[in-house]
Amino acid sequence: MLKAAPMGKLARSNEQKSLGPDRFTPSTVAVREHRTRERADRIIDQFVERFTEKDFFPEDGEDALFSLLVQLPDWPADLSIRIHNENDEVLAVFLKGSDESVVQDSIVLTQNVDAYIVPDNVQVADDEPLLRWVFSQLPAGSSVGMGGNFPGSSSDAGRIVTLRE
């Protein structure tokens, strides 16, 4: 027959007992969350240190990029970035704030197993393909990436340069 832990004492697993009385063992969920936060911190640090480099994205850093893009002051509050899979199922939605009801328009990106794909009738740029695909879908009049004062600064390529600076 099993006995309950005495009143006022915490039940401990055999593993915890073998580690000794002063040994802290975090839960699996806490360890997983900690590793996820560390990974996110590393990706953000890489963005901060190297974002001005052309074509630079940390490995698996697209979600962080989209999260940061929609928080830019010039990003329209009614515009979201939606990531779909090849079956058109929504994988993620990035928006300014948390109220999806204000969204009037979306930039839609389709992701397969290892890359983002564009419709067959769209030409993919050699330089900055992901950002160019995002910028090509910005609504007319959007000021994201505007403000550069060099020839071509109002083109998608110029806006990307301004954003990276």
Residue 164's nearest CA partner among 43, 41, 57 is 57
pLDDT confidence of residue 4: 56
Is pLDDT above 80 for 84? yes
Give pLDDT, residue 93: 93
Helices (H), the chain: 14-19, 28-50, 62-69, 129-136, 156-164
Residue 163's pLDDT is: 82
pTM here?
0.68
Q: Is the pLDDT of residue 102 over 80?
A: yes
Q: How is residue 101 annotated by DSSP?
A: G
Question: Residue 110 corresponds to which tokens in the numbers above?
Answer: 């389709």
Residue pLDDT, tens place only, 47-83 = 788 877 877 777 778 888 888 889 888 898 999 999 9
pLDDT at 142: 85
Question: For a pLDDT cut of 90, what percent of the chain falls above it?
Answer: 10
Token code pair at residue 130: 């992901």
pLDDT higher than 70, residue 19 = no
What's residue 11's pLDDT? 58
Mean of pLDDT over the chain: 80
Say if residue 134's pLDDT is above 80.
yes
The whole-angstrom separation of Cα 129 and Cα 114 is: 15
For position 158, what pLDDT does the model report?
Answer: 85
Task: Choose between 59 and 90: higher pLDDT.
Answer: 90
